[in-house]
């Protein structure tokens, strides 16, 4: 599993998958992850591969704190 270093700024983009109702995060390397809405969510992320029919809707960046994402 890839880990982002906290020593430098890491841009992440947050989406919600409208079909599955899951949080999806794209990291600075372009990898997608499903992230549960729990404590230490980033540490529990799982790889995600967008497929045809997936409806990813961008979510405001302030939600990264709710999900415990790197800033």
pLDDT tens digits, 34-54 = 999 888 888 999 999 988 888
Q: pTM of this prediction? A: 0.77
Burial category of 25 from C-beta neighbours within 10 Å (exposed 0-12, middle 13-18, buried 19 and up): buried
Q: Return the SS3 of 21.
A: coil
| Predicted pLDDT of residue 51 | 87
Low-confidence residues of the chain: pLDDT under 50: 1-9
Domain boundaries, the chain: 13-67
CB-CB contact of 66 with 27 (8 Å): no
Q: What is the pLDDT of residue 71?
A: 67
Please tell me the distance from the alpha carbon of residue 66 to that of residue 2, in angstroms, as a whole number.
Answer: 21
């Amino acid at each position: 599993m890839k880990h982002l270093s906290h020593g430098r700024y890491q841009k992440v983009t947050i989406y919600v998958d409208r079909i599955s109702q899951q949080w999806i995060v794209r990291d600075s390397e372009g990898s997608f992850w499903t992230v549960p809405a729990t404590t230490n969510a980033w540490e529990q992320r799982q790889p995600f591969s967008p497929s045809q029919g997936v409806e990813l809707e961008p979510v405001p960046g302030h939600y990264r704190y709710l999900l415990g994402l790197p800033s």
